[in-house]
């Protein structure tokens, strides 16, 4: 069975600081993809970053980067220079044919 | 055009009503999805269409009936719903359904069943 676990239901960070959201997963597949999606209060699901399991290099998108530890099945998201617009619920997701989401982490960026 | 468009944005219906949710994309994607999301919870997969054929049905009750008239359009027909079916219904699409493509999501239909 495939599972995704986000152990931090809520987090907060001061504007301009750095925050890391944790995610662990479990799968028996060798070829899979991992994602972080952001869902702001508008409830639009927005893709933040994507990592292909066979690539060792960590994905980066502007202020967003991941720490992908394949052996440990860990996939954390680092947000640098946090902005008020980063306030949202963040979902880690595993794709192996079906997209499976973690329970989500609510991030509040404080001014 | 990189959008998935869902209509209506909000829907209120009684338990005896029949209504439909609509989803449209013009990115040439061949896989389309319906997800159900309760507040503060992750989306739960309901149905997957691949090349206009239903490929996954996650044991969804028959009061939800999906339809894919063509490669750009996906409908979800609703009939005799229960109050616990109130949720955000998200549509998504991807280039294929082989488990390698990223999903693009619509902004959802917020459904309230009275």
Q: What percent of chain A has pLDDT over 70?
A: 100
Q: Tell if the CB–CB gap between B97 and A97 is shorter than 8 Å.
A: yes
Which residue in the set A42, A89, A106 is minimally distant from B107, CB to CB? A42
Which region among A22-31, B60-69, B76-85, B93-102 has the lowest average model confidence (pLDDT)? B93-102
- Going through B1-114 in order, the beta strands assigned E by DSSP cover 4-7, 10-13, 18-25, 31-37, 44-50, 53-57, 64-70, 73-79, 87-94, 104-105, 109-113
Handedness of CA B92, B93, B97, B99 (dihedral sign): negative
Residue A63 class from Cβ within 10 Å (0-12 exposed, 13-18 middle, 19+ buried)? middle
Asked whether the beta carbons of B30 and B70 are under 8 A apart, the reply is: no
Rounded CA-CA distance A64/A70 in Å is 19
Asked whether the beta carbons of A91 and A39 are under 8 A apart, the reply is: yes
Beta strands A74-79; A88-95: pairing state? unpaired
Question: Minimal Cα–Cα distance from A18 to chain B, Å?
Answer: 24
What average pLDDT does range B5-17 have in this prediction? Answer: 93
B10 touches chain A (CB under 8 A): no
Q: Which two tokens stand for residue A2?
A: 């495939």
What pLDDT, in 10s, does the model give residues A30-75? 889 999 999 999 888 999 999 999 888 999 999 999 999 999 999 9
Question: Minimal Cα–Cα distance from B80 to chain A, Å?
Answer: 26
Q: What is the pLDDT of residue B1?
A: 59
Chain B residues touching residue A102 (CB < 8 angstroms): 42
Which residue in the set B42, B102, B107 is minimally distant from A50, CB to CB? B102
Q: Tell me the CA distances in angstroms from B62 to A46, B54, B76, B105, B114, one per residue in order.
A: 30, 14, 11, 24, 19
Cα A110 to its chain centre, rounded Å, is: 20
Q: What is the pLDDT of residue B103?
A: 87
Mean pLDDT of chain A: 94
Closest CA to A33 of A90, A88, A93, A95: A95
């Amino acid at each position: 069975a495939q599972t995704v676990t986000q152990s931090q239901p809520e987090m907060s960070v001061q504007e301009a600081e750095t925050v890391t959201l944790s995610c662990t997963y479990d799968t028996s597949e060798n070829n899979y993809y991992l994602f972080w999606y952001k869902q702001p209060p508008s409830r639009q699901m927005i893709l933040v970053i994507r990592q292909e399991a066979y690539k060792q290099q960590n994905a980066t998108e502007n202020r967003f980067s991941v720490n992908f530890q394949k052996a440990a099945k860990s996939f954390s998201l680092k947000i640098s220079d946090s902005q008020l617009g980063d306030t949202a619920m963040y979902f880690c997701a595993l794709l192996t044919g079906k997209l499976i989401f973690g329970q989500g982490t609510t991030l509040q960026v404080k001014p | 055009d990189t959008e998935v468009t869902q209509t209506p944005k909000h829907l209120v219906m009684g338990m005896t009503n029949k209504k439909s949710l609509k989803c449209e994309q013009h990115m040439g994607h061949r896989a389309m999805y319906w997800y159900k999301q309760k507040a503060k919870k992750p989306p739960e997969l309901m149905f997957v269409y691949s090349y206009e054929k239903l490929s996954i049905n996650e044991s969804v009750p028959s009061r939800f009936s999906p339809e894919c008239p063509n490669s750009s359009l996906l409908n979800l027909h609703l009939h005799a719903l229960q109050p616990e079916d109130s949720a955000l219904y998200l549509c998504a699409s991807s280039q294929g359904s082989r488990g390698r493509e990223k999903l693009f999501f619509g902004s959802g239909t917020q459904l309230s069943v009275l």
